[in-house]
Each structure stands twice: as structure tokens, then as C-alpha cells.
Amino acid sequence: MAFAVHRWRWLPAFAFASMLVPAGLAFAGPATETADARAWLARIQSAAQTRNYQGTMVYSAGGLLSSSRIAHFSVDSQTYERLESLDGRQRRVFRVNDTVHTVWPQTRVAVIEKRGPTMALPSNTQAVEPRALDQYELRSEGTDRIAGRDAQVLLLKPRDELRYAQRLWADKATGLMLRADVIGSDRNVLESVAFSEVDIGVKANPDAVVQGVRKLEGFKVLRPQLQPVALDAEGWAMERGVPGFTLVTCVKRPLEAGDGPATGPVLQAVFSDGLTHVSLFIEPHDPARRFDDLVGQVGATSTLRQRRGDHWLTLMGDVPAATLRQFADALDRRR
């Protein structure tokens, strides 16, 4: 497969409502539980967008372990982010507002692209939409400590079997997400992403990001263009919706294989339930590229690929495989 989805699905700093509430907010009982739950989610969202922080995050799934160094700075209305993988192949990601530079130093290749508010950006994993409570029941599970900081522990339990539960650790002082676990139906942790160390409230240093995007002399620079499109205008339609998921973006794009040549165009549609996302990729069948039907799972991320006439469909998301099948079954080719 020519593409991959990394668990750091940092939901783009999706422009959700920002709302600050007093530190140490706790659940007071049934009468106020819903309001408190929504306030916690708004707090987490606001912290992801407005707080300056830097640290090291560790990702674990399926026996694999990797870490990345991340920094996020908010200066007035401008957002600056830097992410650097610390294990395996070198990769650095720099974001200035909606422009994202992905750099592979070893092969001296850089990809520069504009990403709208519903395309994945580094700060995204740090946020939860308040509307997620339509599909999840939010419970308080007391307090804990993560990366040396006091945290409020929250459990988002799905109201159906189409999605996984998630346990969140939110910094009590600021609301910033410190850890997030995806939990399977048998209550085992499918994957986890957490700060091993973090500094919150650091002085903004946008130059550390800006300088990174300027040091591309001698790099091969790719600039894939994302073209917003309508799914039905491209000849596809969802005959019936998958409960709780709504279409949040649809674009046509060249398919980048990291540092390889672009192919395509490929249609990419992203669906969200407010907490997790499912990505649908539709590409023309090319006899020169050998694909096979596929159903697989690594950590919490399920993958489904199947032939549909003259096209290949690939669905990926942190949901059970049965949910991806519902998406595939609902998709119809109109022309």
C-alpha cells in the first residue's frame, strides 16, 4: 500500500469552540454531569489550541514503541508547531498555521502542503469535540499523575459497538491532554499515546519552527495540491450513513508515498464522530500496481481494502473492522 496513517492523528486544531473553565473542575453528580463533561472537553480543546507547551510523547501499540519530540506555540492568532521523530527513520514536521512541511533529512525530500481545518495536523490528537458526547458517555475515573503532573482521568465509553472506548488524562491545571488510551471491547489497551515529559506555559519560540522550514536548500521539494471536491460530484454517494459519523472533508489529491513519486489523483474523504476519524481513499485501478483485498489491524487502527469495479477503496480508522465494512457497504458508485 502506497500510504499509511500514523496514530498521532493529532486532530487538526479543528476550529472548535474555545471555552475555559476553572482549574480542578470535577463531576458534582447526575444533575451537573453533562454540563461538567462538556466543559472538560471544551477545556481540553482550548488548551490544545492556545497553550504553549513542549515535550516528548511516546506511542505504543501492538508491541511497537516510538517517541517524538513536539512543541506547540500560539502567538496572537498564529500557530507554530514542530514534531520530530526520535526513533527509526528521521522525520520532522513543521507547521505554520495551515501550511505543513514534512521533511525527511536522510533522503533530502520535503513535502509542503496546505491543510484545511479538517486535515490532520500535529496538534490534533490533543483535542476532543464536545459533540462526541452524542456517541460516548463521559465518566470521571478520579485523578492520577502523568509526566509529573496531576491529571483528571476521564473515560469516553461508546454508546454502541461501532467505536472504541477511550480513556483520557487531562492536566488539572491547564486542561492539556497528557495521555490517551484506546480500549478494546475486552478492555485491553489497543494503543496509547502519552507525554513522558512536558513543559506547559513555556515561552513561545516561533523562530524554532520558522527556521526549520527555511533550511531546505538541496532538498527535493514536493508540493501536492489538495482540491476540495464534493463526494457526489465525483460520482460516489453514501447510500446510508454510519451512525454518529459525518463527512467533514473531501479532497482530491496526488497520493504521496513519503519520499516516492506521486500517483493518482486519489479521492480522500474523512468522516468524524467528534472523537475518532475514518479516512476513505478511492483511487483508479491500475494494472501496473498490484493490490489485493485486505482486512487488517495494528493497534487500534483497522484497515479495509477492496476492489470496486474500476476502483480500489481503502478505509482506515481507529474503529473496529465491522465499522469500516459498514462504510464500504454504504458507498455506491453512481457513475
Is residue 50 a contact partner of residue 18, using CB atoms and an 8 Å limit?
Answer: yes
- Mean pLDDT, the chain, whole residue set: 83
- The per-residue pLDDT for 229 is 93
**Tens of pLDDT, residues 78-92:** 999 999 999 989 999
Enumerate domains of the chain plus CATH numbers: 30-214 (2.50.20.10), 224-333 (3.30.200.100)
Give dist(CA 275, CA 279) in Å, integer.
Answer: 13
**Tens of pLDDT, residues 264-293:** 689 999 999 999 999 999 998 877 777 788
Instruction: Find the farthest-apart pair of alpha carbons in the chain and give their distance in angstroms, rounded.
Output: 61
Mean pLDDT of 165-172: 95
Give dist(CA 108, CA 118) in Å, integer.
Answer: 28
**Tens of pLDDT, residues 177-233:** 999 999 998 899 999 999 999 999 999 999 999 988 888 889 999 988 888 999 999
Is residue 128 a contact partner of residue 44, using CB atoms and an 8 Å limit?
Answer: yes
- Give the pLDDT band of residue 33 (cuts 50, 70, 90): low
Q: Which of 323, 312, 219 is nearest to 277 (CA)?
A: 323
